[in-house]
């Protein structure tokens, strides 16, 4: 594993990455995290569970092919050439069909592919690619801070977790996305009722409790605008960050004790 990973990030960024990677993979900084098609994404891999269906994983694998072709060939062995061709020359539909085909009936990635990805996660070059991709998401999360008038480390972690789980455009209208439009509408209505004004920046700058109130509204709206099967997970995950503790699945989290999460103001 790469050494001194923390040096690539600010303290708030590193906390966000450790917390969200734990939510995503079960362990902090789990570069080899691998999940099958339980969520319809075909296959998800890495620190932040980039996946085949949304085409977030393919760019990372292509970058590894370009930077370290010999390592790619060694890691994927007899399947290296066909997998390379799939990534570079086949359509997204063909890629997702392949990803689904290497799942068993319980949506776990089968051998030898699970071993391939385990070895890929150990490779320092691939880990460096993960870090660069994570930095991109962290920058996107930071851009949302002024949108809501947020100021604290907790709010930054909250936004990064959303960007990771729901995508960078979770709050941006893109290609007339009805889901995101519904979020915008609901958020505007709740904002108005909370603040009696369309500008909640003055409210959130007042104290941490007000900031948490806005985060809770966002959490509720996100939970209400995902597939029902994932609604509880989404709400629980957001509330753990807001409250600093709570249970996700069968696991109890204490984010202050285990990750040092605080309400400190982020300094630019």
* pLDDT recorded at residue 175: 45
Tokens at residue 213, please?
Answer: 């109130």
- Tell me how many degrees the CA angle 69-74-80 measures, rounded to the nearest 5: 75
Over residues 99-134, the pLDDT tens digits come to 999 999 999 999 999 999 999 999 999 999 999 999
What was the pLDDT predicted at 221? 85
- Which residue ranges does the chain devote to CATH 3.30.386.10? 26-131
Spans in the chain with pLDDT lower than 70: 1-2, 172-209, 268
**DSSP secondary structure code for residue 250 in this structure:** T
pTM above threshold 0.85: yes
Asked if 214 contacts 201 with a C-beta cutoff of 8 angstroms, the reply is: no
Q: Residue 267's pLDDT is what?
A: 75
What is the pLDDT at residue 210? 81
Assign domain 26-131 one CATH number from 3.20.80.10, 3.30.465.10, 3.40.50.2300, 3.30.386.10: 3.30.386.10
In this prediction, residue 89 carries a pLDDT of 98
Residue-level pLDDT at 44: 98
DSSP class of residue 4? -
Task: Provide the pLDDT for residue 235.
Answer: 97
| The predicted structure's pLDDT at residue 147 | 82
């Amino acid at each position: 594993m790469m050494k001194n990973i923390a040096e690539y990030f600010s303290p708030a960024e590193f906390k966000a990455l450790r917390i969200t990677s734990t939510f995503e993979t079960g362990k902090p900084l789990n570069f080899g995290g691998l999940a099958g098609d339980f969520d319809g994404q075909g296959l998800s891999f890495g620190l932040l569970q980039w996946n085949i269906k949304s085409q977030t994983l393919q760019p990372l694998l292509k970058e590894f092919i370009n930077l370290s072709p010999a390592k790619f060939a060694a890691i994927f062995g007899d399947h290296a050439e066909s997998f390379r061709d799939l990534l570079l020359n086949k359509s997204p539909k063909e890629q997702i069909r392949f990803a689904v085909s290497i799942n068993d009936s319980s949506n776990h990635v089968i051998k030898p592919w699970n071993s391939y990805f385990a070895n890929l996660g150990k490779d320092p070059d691939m880990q460096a690619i993960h870090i660069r991709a994570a930095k991109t998401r962290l920058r996107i999360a930071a851009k949302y801070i002024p949108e809501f008038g947020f100021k604290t480390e907790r709010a930054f972690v909250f936004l990064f977790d959303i960007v990771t789980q729901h995508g960078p455009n979770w709050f941006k209208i893109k290609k007339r996305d009805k889901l995101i439009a519904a979020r915008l509408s609901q958020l505007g209505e709740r904002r108005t009722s909370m603040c009696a004004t369309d500008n909640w920046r003055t409210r959130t700058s007042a104290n941490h409790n007000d900031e948490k109130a806005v985060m809770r509204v966002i959490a509720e709206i996100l939970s209400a605008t995902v597939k029902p099967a994932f609604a509880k997970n989404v709400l629980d995950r957001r509330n753990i960050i807001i409250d600093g503790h709570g249970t996700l699945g069968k696991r109890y989290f204490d984010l202050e004790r285990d990750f040092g999460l605080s309400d400190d103001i982020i300094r630019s």
